[in-house]
């Protein structure tokens, strides 16, 4: 939900609205949530194997969240 909310947020918009939109997207498109869970697992495994990659992995997770947001029909 946090990744979906971060991808849905726009400058000037409230976080409450972004979180509500993320909840609707998660309920309406569970496949995107599964993709984000897989991306989070891959990022955690990469950061565990090479701890210096923990910081760049946050950018990769945000890219995955934006990609899921773009493909979502909601």
- Whether pTM > 0.75 for this model: the answer is no
In total, how many domains does the chain have?
Answer: 1
Domain containing 24: what range? 2-71
Tell me: pLDDT of 74 over 90.
no
pLDDT tens for residues 9-67?
A: 888 888 888 888 888 888 888 888 888 899 999 999 999 999 998 899 988 898 888 88
pLDDT of residue 24: 86
Residue 12 φ/ψ region, left for φ over 0, alpha for ψ in the -120 to 50 degree band, beta for the rest? left
| 3 Cβ neighbours under 8 A, 6+ residues apart | 36, 40, 61, 62, 64, 65, 68
């Amino acid at each position: 939900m946090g990744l979906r909310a971060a991808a849905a947020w726009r400058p000037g918009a409230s976080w409450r609205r972004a979180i509500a939109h993320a909840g609707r997207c998660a309920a309406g498109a569970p496949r995107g949530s599964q993709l984000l869970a897989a991306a989070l697992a891959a990022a955690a495994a990469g950061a565990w194997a090479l701890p210096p990659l923990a910081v760049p992995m946050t950018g990769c997770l945000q890219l995955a969240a934006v990609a899921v947001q773009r493909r979502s029909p909601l």
